[in-house]
Structure 1
Amino acid sequence: MYRIFLVEDEPSLNQVLAAYLRNEGWSVETFHNGQDARDAMKERPHLWILDIMLPGVDGYQLMREIKEDFAKLPVIFISARDADIDRVIGLEMGSDDYLAKPFLPRELVIRTRKLLERVYGKRSEGNGFDDGNPIASLVPYRVDMQARMTFDTDGTALELTSKEFDLLLHLSAHAGQLLNREQLLASLWGEDYFGSDRVVDDLVRRLRKKLPELRLETVYGYGYRLAKA
């Protein structure tokens, strides 16, 4: 289960946003001021949602401290102030997304889901990934989903490109399922991609070369399947 920290000082909005997020099955811890959120920073949730205007420690300071300790940890900024200025400052400080008030709670849910999937990959039961642990096992390899790094059995970091890592996560999320080239193409390059589906074969070939012990099966004439652990 994903763990989300929501920092919003307006009680009614805090309650509504938390309810929408929890309705997605996520664990949500709420804070009404910056100091309480700062005290919980070492607990390292999967994602932060920060209001900029907070009593005491503001959202900018929280963002700065979060990124100093956990550079890859995703953060969504929300603010009722000047949208353009806050958006630029937030992005410069490392925020991953921004929402200007007022916004629909459902929009925050959609943006949160997309950001979680982008950072951690889509997950499904039985794929070996533990939602409470950013370090996952993909026998015989280990995958750090937050840092987007893969390690060999001896702890050596394996240099994967962004697309290779995305493919690894996607296959893991669908372990045991037979995926055709068109499905992989749409998932990794988008529905609007125009080009040969042979780019999938090339990506698989490169992933196999770097992770030779990966139990990735080829079903000739159709696609690929990652064997369940």
Structure 2
Amino acid sequence: MEQYQIYLVEDEENLAEVLKTYLQKEGWQVTVFTNGHDAMQAVNDEPHLWVLDIMLPGRDGYQVLKAIKQRADTPVIFISARDQDLDRVLGLEMGSDDYLAKPFLPQELIIRAKKLLNRVYGTSVLEVNNMLLSGYNIDPVSRVIVDKENEDEVIEMTTKEMDVTLLLISEIGKAFSREFILKKVWDRKYIGSARAVDDVVRRVRKKMPRLHVETLYGYGYRVLRS
């Protein structure tokens, strides 16, 4: 079961709770935002998928969508009860990947989300067994990393930081090119610089200083056993 991180932005609290329940039944981690302002504060978190209502207090969905796509090409499903044709066109023009008109069945959202996640991410990079490496207990199922040498401190990781870490440790000693890491972890439509990988690796090294991440200049990275 894929451990995807879903960000759901919906101001109707009852609907948000129902959708959250259905998404969690798929084994996905779900974070709910009930206004546009809070969602804007989270655009740098890099979840696997946003489910985004258009009509929101604080900031509307269009503003949130613009901020998401400026940061990364994370897939977005737009939902709205307004002028359906207009919202669909505007949303797609701004970069949304799919659209649902209210009212809709929760099962329809699940079907759309599964298809989109599979298209964007394909084979999961999370097929890694629980392991203890360099004093860090790494659990890919719960997506939790615990520093066993620092009073069992839980290390807070963004989605991209966790996915890159899990990919690198999936085969200790194997060299992964920046381009391969981008293909496996980022949206396959991503057209930004491969330096995005360098930025994530830099953050991982800062958070996990004992993890031996070796740079292969001009190529990529590999993790070695300390």
For the criterion TM > 0.5, the same-fold answer is: yes
Alignment partners' CA distance in 2, 1:88 and 1:60 = 12
Q: Structure 1, unaligned stretches of length 5 or more?
A: 158-229
Relative distance call for 1:85 and 1:141 in structure 2 (3 A) is same
Moved over 4 A (4+): 149-153
Cα RMSD for the two superposed structures: 2.5
Alignment-derived partner of residue 42 in structure 1: 44
Tell me the CA shift for residue 155 of structure 1. Answer: 4.6
Conserved in 1, the CA contact under 8 Å of 2:79 and 2:100? yes
Relative distance call for 1:114 and 1:147 in structure 2 (3 A) is closer
Conserved in 2, the CA contact under 8 Å of 1:33 and 1:56? yes
Alignment partners' CA distance in 1, 2:55 and 2:10 = 8
Tell me the CA shift for residue 113 of structure 1. Answer: 1.0
Find the structure with the greater CA-based Rg. 1
Length-normalised TM-score, structure 2: 0.62
Conserved in 2, the CA contact under 8 Å of 1:9 and 1:55? yes
Look up the equivalent residue of 1:117 and give its one-letter code. N
Alignment-derived partner of residue 118 in structure 1: 119
Q: Structure 2, unaligned stretches of length 5 or more?
A: 130-139, 144-158, 198-214, 221-226
Tell me the CA shift for residue 75 of structure 1. Answer: 0.6
Conserved in 2, the CA contact under 8 Å of 1:141 and 1:153? no
Tell me the CA shift for residue 44 of structure 1. Answer: 1.6
Tell me the CA shift for residue 123 of structure 1. Answer: 2.6
Tell me the CA shift for residue 5 of structure 1. Answer: 0.5
Relative distance call for 1:29 and 1:124 in structure 2 (3 A) is same
Alignment-derived partner of residue 105 in structure 1: 106
**What are the superposed Cα offsets for residues 42-66 of structure 1, whole Å, 9 maximum, x if unpaired?**
2221111100000110000000111
Alignment partners' CA distance in 1, 2:89 and 2:114 = 23
Count, aligned residues: 155
Look up the equivalent residue of 1:112 and give its one-letter code. A
Alignment partners' CA distance in 1, 2:126 and 2:33 = 30
Relative distance call for 1:35 and 1:125 in structure 2 (3 A) is closer
Length-normalised TM-score, structure 1: 0.61
Alignment-derived partner of residue 80 in structure 1: 81
Alignment of 1:146 with 2:186, yes or no, is yes
Alignment-derived partner of residue 204 in structure 2: none
Alignment partners' CA distance in 1, 2:29 and 2:49 = 11
Conserved in 2, the CA contact under 8 Å of 1:5 and 1:49? yes
Conserved in 1, the CA contact under 8 Å of 2:52 and 2:78? yes
SS state of the match for residue 50, structure 1?
strand
SS state of the match for residue 44, structure 2?
helix
Alignment partners' CA distance in 1, 2:127 and 2:30 = 24
Alignment-derived partner of residue 7 in structure 2: 5
Look up the equivalent residue of 2:94 and give its one-letter code. M
Relative distance call for 1:124 and 1:44 in structure 2 (3 A) is closer
- Alignment partner for residue 32 of structure 2, among 18, 30, 33? 30
Tell me the CA shift for residue 126 of structure 1. Answer: 3.5
Look up the equivalent residue of 1:140 and give its one-letter code. A
